[in-house]
Chain A
Amino acid sequence: MEICVNNNETDVELVIDGRIDSNTSIELQEQILAAIEGSNHVVLDFAKVSYISSAGLRSILIGQKAAAKKRGVMELANVSDIVMEVLQTVGFDKILTFK
């Protein structure tokens, strides 16, 4: 998995490429938390995410909680059907914001 950070004027965009599993979720979590720390609007581009494990879901959940705590917004963009199915299975679609 690779993460590309784009610091835009109004938001911070994390373009994630690859599988989010127990090996890569730690880095994702750090990047998400760093982005939320620096911006009230964080966008996670999921266009190139092919798989997300429960550890990855945890990183997303932690990010969502952190964003909510500082009254910021964390958005998921371009989520593929496969990943969306996983998110729906665990009920994350109800608590996350999609672009």
Chain B
Amino acid sequence: MSDRMRRSIRNKLVTMAIVVASIAIVLLGIVSWGGFNEMKRSSYVMSTDLVAISAEKTEEIIRELALEDLKHLAEGTANVLDAKVEQLVDELEMSDIGSVVMEINIGDYGAAFVVNDDGDVLIRTHLTDSADGVVTKKENIFESETPEIIEMITKITLGESGIFISNYGGQEMYWAYEPMDTMPWTVITLFNANEVLAPVMQAKEQTNKLALQAQQEAQNIARSSMIAMIAGMAASAVLATLVGFIYSVKISAPIRKLEDGVRRISKGEFDGKIEINSGDEIENLATAFNNMTKDLKQHIIDLTTVTAEREKIGAELDIATKMQLSMLPNQFPAFPEYSQFDLYATMVTAKEVGGDFYDFFMVDDKHLALVMADVSGKGVPAALFMVKAKTLLQNFAQKGTSPSEILRGVNHELCVNNDAGMFVTAWIGILNVDTGEMNYANAGHNAPLIKRTGGNFEKLKCDANFVLAGLEEINYTQHTVSLQNGDYLYLYTDGVTEATNAKQELYSEARLVDFMNASEIVSAQSLLEEIKEDVDKFAGGEDQFDDITMLGLIFNA
């Protein structure tokens, strides 16, 4: 699985399901754990308490019953003895009394005594060597130092009956005493508490055992419940993961479908439609996507058409530019038969076809016409307008009229039907190649530069007048200059001085003049080439918006 796919929506959803389930399970676990522990603890406490309480209660009851029993035993014995005394009267023997007492079933640890009012023990059932219980060895209970027994003796002396508990030889003993009516004797019965309580203790032990068992059982139940719970948790974790996985697959499947669709589109297959019926946002997205695909397809078709058209237009514009260039005289030396002048001209067109043009032609065998012009705007309209202006200028010049007349005539022609508001700046000069006299006129073009022998380049004096095709009935003033041997005349368009570098700085007329003055003039062509080079260096590869058009002429007298 790639790194990208590890972060897929499916995996994120599965992770989310697992995390949510885990949190729920852990919380449930913590709560249940506490519950189980509480249950364990309370079952333990409960059973322990129960055992303790029940044992205590039983002991108490048994003790009470034992004491009661003991009392009845003492009473019964006293009554039986009284009856025996009354029955036998004179023939009463101690052994008769002893036999009655000995018949009392009082248990292994119990005992019965008969004492007289002096505290002498007359009969005792235990620790005796005689079969009828008659005591031969003198023994007196009044000598006892046990406080309870001393208290009993007091009661006996007063002829009262009673019960009490004492510690006798480290053993708990239950006592009951009952004075006889016929004789000044008292029947004393006693139980060893251990013997009496033995069944209780046994029961207690049993109960304890049962309680322990119950505890154990409770703990077992708790443990198995815990195991069941943990198993349940594990099962629900697995289930949550499974459900999460199924759902995430369900959710992510349409997204994958969409992804495949996008991939197909990017390969350029626009015909496939993405079918998603998830009924959620993804379905909406798919619908939107399908619409987009449809639109995109249409757009591409449109764009292809437009591009094809544009390419066609571009190609045509390219041809137009070439045609425009081919309309300018570009064979050098232009007039090899004339040694009176050295002429060179160049036009470097900008990216977009423009409206610059230069022209030169012999009006007659003595007169050379020089034209430098610039049509406002760019593109095909400017190029078309340029063709019209160039043709008109040539036609009017061929008539042999003066520059001002030529401009006036051309202006008039160009103004007709010029709804587009195009205009042309133009400079035209007619040079008499024999005398060096040149008549010239300007129609809003930048003034040419002229270098007289030994001097520097400077602007050729001329009125700006007004552009061609702008307004009707314009008069163009005419000037005359007399060229001397070696004079250099430089015609150009603002594409030269407005060449722009990356910092949006203009090449400028000042820089042009400085450069030209610093140059050594070898020929008309060499200077133009040097200027072009310097302009390129200045522009530093920036696209130029304007054509760069120049014409140079050196007059040789």
Contact = CB atoms under 8 A, between A and B. Distances in A.
Interface of A: 21-22, 25, 53-55, 57-58, 61-62, 65, 88-95
Contacts of A89: 425, 444-447, 464
A50 B413 CA distance: 34
Interface of B is mostly: loop
Given A58-B423, A65-B421, A91 B377 contact: no
A90 B378 contact: no
B465 interface: yes
B423 A57 contact: yes
B425 A54 contact: yes
B445 A94 contact: no
Given A90-B467, A91-B466, A55 B378 contact: yes
Contacts of A21: 545
Contact of A91 (B375, B444, B494): B444
A92 B445 CA distance: 11
Contacts, number: 60
A88 B467 CA distance: 11
Contact of A95 (B375, B378, B447, B466): B466
A21 B498 CA distance: 12
Interface string B440-454: 000111110000000
B422 interface: yes
Contacts of B422: 58
A22 B446 contact: no
A91 B376 contact: no
Contact of A94 (B375, B377, B443, B466): B466
Q: Report the 7 A-B pairs with minimum CB-CB distance, sorted nearest first.
A: A90-B444, A91-B466, A54-B376, A62-B421, A58-B376, A91-B464, A91-B444
B444 A22 contact: no
Contact of B423 (A25, A61, A93, A94): A61
B374 interface: yes
Contacts of B545: 21-22, 53
Nearest to B444: A90
B470 interface: yes
A95 B470 CA distance: 10
Interface string B292-328: 0000000000000000000000000000000000000
Contacts of A88: 464
A61 B464 CA distance: 16
A98 B22 CA distance: 85
Contacts of A92: 444, 466-467
Contact of A58 (B377, B471, B494): B377
Nearest to B352: A22
A54 B421 CA distance: 12
Interface string B365-384: 00000000011111000000
Contact of B465 (A25, A57, A62, A91): A91
Contacts of A62: 421
Contacts of B376: 54-55, 57-58
14 contacts: A54-B374, A58-B421, A58-B423, A61-B423, A61-B467, A89-B425, A89-B464, A90-B425, A90-B467, A91-B464, A92-B466, A92-B467, A94-B466, A95-B471
Nearest to B474: A91
